[in-house]
A and B are shown apart, each in its own frame.
Chain A
Amino acid sequence: MNLVPFSRREEHLFYLVAGFGAAIVAIGLAAALYMEHSGHVVTGMNNQIVWGMPHVFAIFLIVAASGVLNVASIGSVFGKVLYKKRAPLSGLLCIAMLAGGLAVIMLDLGRADRLIIAMTHFNPTSVFGWNVILYPGMFGIVAVYLWTLMERRMNPWTKPAGFAAFIWRLLLTTGTGSIFGFLVARQAYHAAVLAPMFIIMSFAWGLAVFMIVQRVMYAWNGLTVHQAVRNRMKNLLGVFVAAVFYFVAVYHLTNLYFAKEVAFERFILIDGGIFPVLFWGGWLFLGTILPLLLLYLPGLSSLCGSVATASGLVILGAFCQLYVFIIGGQAFPLGIFPGMETASSFFDGRIDTYSPSWPEFLLGLGGIGIAFTMTAVGVRVLSFMPEDDIAHLEAMLNITD
């Protein structure tokens, strides 16, 4: 049998991959156009559950975009060589995911055509308003940072640019967490812990995305990630996943301590239908315990594909967590008259149900498509492949051993 070598098929395969990504983007845009034309009546969102599946996708992408830049920050700000080699890829992924997330959140607006109003009318008391500055600012700062990384003459500016990106990234995720943290009336939100919780979630989700992309890039080029790199990054991912667990535990335990929040916690953790299932089964077991076992358990952690599988599970857990947080938080009835039983034609006092429709799911998927396509094209046309100093890695491996 005459097999064409991969190097000769590579170009065709790249176009196939890029075409696949573009098709996902096109589907997402078509879904957005359909929603724009018909109104949100074609979605599962309603006047009780006002933010739905597009927000789950968008917030995942935006939070992970901030976290994926952590790899670059560890390199540029904290001077770790292993991570510095990966800073350009980290920056590209940040821009790509931010673009995907923002596209989804913008196209879900009731009046997406008024984007220019969002840019020109600014309310300084609105956390959303801050984010209108923080998100485009992130694009600009990361673009400059990438420039200092990839243009030899600009290299001396890498550290200050990296530091600026690091600070901006922390602000951005604080802003995203505060979108919920500042909601005074909803039982699920209004908690200061949400800002740092979102930051630590961004670390875990971003690193998980980075490790999958890195592995695919290496495999595409017929390479494998060096053991020393793999060990370092998997250990870091484990620490981040454990830290997310800690913050989520603090958030729920605090709520459980407050008598007024016990009913809400009971709903999310025990009798809320899909939400406890996603919380315990999706986020805790699949997204936290299983990845930790895959990353740390001797025997499992050395298996081929264990780190990639753990990363994939962390991402799956992230979606479960966001679904519970965003949808579950709205499904629980708003306590307008605390301690009273209420009933109305507007579903007061009733647990709300939400069934995402295809258009909103496809819009969210389109955001992933944008991030995917930008990354695929980016790594193809520019040099984003990490170039490690093998001798240094071997030395690291010996020290670790």
Chain B
Amino acid sequence: MSNNDRRGFLAASAGLGLVAIAPGVHLMQVAQARPAGEPASKLQRWGMLVDTTKCASGCTACVSACATENGINEQVADPRQAAQWIRKIDIKDPKNGRQHSLPMMCQHCAEPPCVDVCPTGASMKRADGIVLVDRHICIGCRYCMMACPYKARSFVHQPLTQQNPEVPRGLGCVESCTLCVHRVDKGQKPACVEACPEGAMLFGDLEDPNSDIARRIAQTATTQVRADLKLNTGVRYQGI
């Protein structure tokens, strides 16, 4: 084999090899799934951007998707005792009549009051910014519900059945939006984001300057709800 042939063969082999492994590499990049056992990293901060100009009043696709994904299906006689991890709020400015509709859920604050007040540490913030309740040590005191500025938490008032094994819930514990942590850890988006028919919800890593969400937040005017409290929320809104 001449030198030229050898070079050609090596180049072709390398090209073939690249073609063979590239999809795998590419998929892994897209999935961003962490291997099992590897802890969440503080190099990431998961967040969400909601474009309220696209969010239609009356549309509850995100709410339904959340309920299905997280097994929130119990029938409660008093609706005020029902758990709501995400809800649609219609907002009207009484001065000029301007209206918005937006989904409200745990804002996954960087300085979460619920975590500060929890006596046992059951309310906690993961390294990647997701605020969760450890169901094993929640004693059901509801102090976090008193502390949350967004009324984002619910207390489970009655025994539950037919739970999603990936999303354990329990009588007498407090719960809230987990940002679909079980999906995020598998490299998927939260159920509400995926279900939004208008594409009004954008999920991603706020710490990655190249992520869509970070770029959008850098380029457009976005709002943190109750920004006066300086909680540095992970959920941002556009258009309010």
Q: Does B206 contact A (CB under 8 A)?
A: no
List, in ascending order, chain A residues with CB within 8 A of B153's CB. 47
> Contact at B143–A40, with CB atoms within 8 Å?
no
> How extensive is the interface on chain B, given as a class?
35 or more
> Contact at B156–A110, with CB atoms within 8 Å?
yes
Report the interface size for chain A: residues with CB under 8 A from the other chain.
50
> Contact at A123–B120, with CB atoms within 8 Å?
yes
User: How many Å lie between the Cα of A320 and that of B154 in the bound state?
Assistant: 27
- Residue of A132, A330, A338, A340 contacting most chain B CB atoms (<10 Å): A340
A48-B80, A344-B88 known; A111 and B147 CB under 8 Å? Answer: no
**Among the listed A184, A340, A348, which residue makes an inter-chain contact with B93, where contact means beta carbons less than 8 Å apart?**
A340
**Among the listed B116, B146, B173, which residue makes an inter-chain contact with A111, where contact means beta carbons less than 8 Å apart?**
B173
A111-B138, A118-B119 known; A47 and B145 CB under 8 Å? Answer: yes
Q: Does B78 contact A (CB under 8 A)?
A: yes
Output the least CB separation between A268 and chain B (Å). Answer: 17
List, in ascending order, chain B residues with CB within 8 A of A339's CB. 93-94
Interface string of B155-176 (1 = CB under 8 A from A): 1111100000000000111100
**Among the listed A118, A182, A184, which residue makes an inter-chain contact with B139, where contact means beta carbons less than 8 Å apart?**
A118
> Contact at B147–A340, with CB atoms within 8 Å?
no
User: How many Å lie between the Cα of A186 and that of B147 in the bound state?
Assistant: 8
Within A179-211, which residues are at the interface with B (CB < 8 Å)? 179, 182-186
List, in ascending order, chain A residues with CB within 8 A of B80's CB. 46-49, 347, 352
Q: Does B71 contact A (CB under 8 A)?
A: no
The A contact surface, by secondary structure, is: loop
**Among the listed A122, A132, A345, which residue makes an inter-chain contact with B88, where contact means beta carbons less than 8 Å apart?**
A345
List, in ascending order, chain A residues with CB within 8 A of B79's CB. 345
List, in ascending order, chain A residues with CB within 8 A of B76's CB. 41
**Among the listed A117, A127, A342, which residue makes an inter-chain contact with B137, where contact means beta carbons less than 8 Å apart?**
A117
Complex A-B: 28 CB contacts under 8 Å: A40-B81, A41-B77, A41-B158, A46-B157, A110-B171, A110-B173, A111-B139, A114-B137, A121-B121, A121-B122, A121-B137, A122-B119, A122-B120, A123-B119, A128-B143, A179-B143, A182-B116, A184-B147, A184-B229, A185-B113, A336-B150, A336-B151, A341-B94, A345-B87, A345-B88, A346-B87, A346-B151, A348-B87
